Amino acid sequence: METTQPAEQRSAAEQRRKELLEAADRVVLREGPGASMNAIAAEAGITKPILYRHFGDKEGLYRALAVRHTDALLSALRAALDAPAERRQRVEATLDTYLAAIEVRPQVYRFLMHPSEGGSGSDRGFDAGQHSAPLLRRLGDELGKVIEERLDLGPGGQEAARVWGHGVVGMAYAAGDWWLRERPCSRAELVRQLADLLWGSLASAEDRPGAPGRL
């Protein structure tokens, strides 16, 4: 019995943490970067000290939410890349998956990528670059791995794949951020324009034999 209790305790703690993150998500969906620890604690039906016990502070909560949403986005992006379709269609589907994610949940996007736009008092002091840069690096690293797995880029291919991964993520982030604020065109038109921009070297690269989901 003694050997199973720690595992049971961990499971209960993980479940409680999941419930608190879901409560935080609901507040972020309503309030965006202005979501406060007080509001999140109230949503979860607990006091703020208990919330601090689980996450430390707002930065700890931010990091936990960032992992949660980045994992979900990466899963969706991989599914789009591996779909049974022509390469151009998969590129467009991948771009659209990212843009749809930020369009459908703009408050969550703003909380993760522009946290300094909200908060007050002890919740203020977030630096957008300090927090958004690791998310973009992770997305760039993961996309670089996918490109390396699926395309034969010849000598220096690993380095090229990393450059492409981070370059594509940087392009999608900058273009998506601008588009979400100004809405100068439809999402479909933005996807088409970005795919056109990518289509030079990417279109001519050879697939690796047997690569999963070949681009």
Which residue, among 164, 78, 69, has the nearest Cα to 112 in the 3D structure?
Answer: 69
Q: Which helix (H) or strand (E) holds 206?
A: strand 206-207
CATH assignment of 57-207, given 3.30.565.10, 3.30.465.10, 3.30.70.20, 1.10.357.10?
A: 1.10.357.10
Q: Taking the mean position of all CA atoms in its chain, how far away is CA 100?
A: 12
Query: Residue 168 in contact with residue 80, Cβ under 8 Å?
Result: no
Q: Which helix (H) or strand (E) holds 207?
A: strand 206-207
Per-residue pLDDT band for 209 (boundaries 50, 70, 90) equals confident
Tell me if the pTM is above 0.75: yes
pLDDT per position as a tens digit, 41-98: 999 999 999 988 888 888 888 889 988 898 999 999 999 988 888 989 999 999 999 9
The domains of the chain are located at 57-207
Residue 211: Cβ-neighbour burial (10 angstroms; 0-12, 13-18, 19+):
middle
Taking the C-alpha atoms of residue 6 and residue 2, their distance in angstroms, rounded to an integer, is: 8
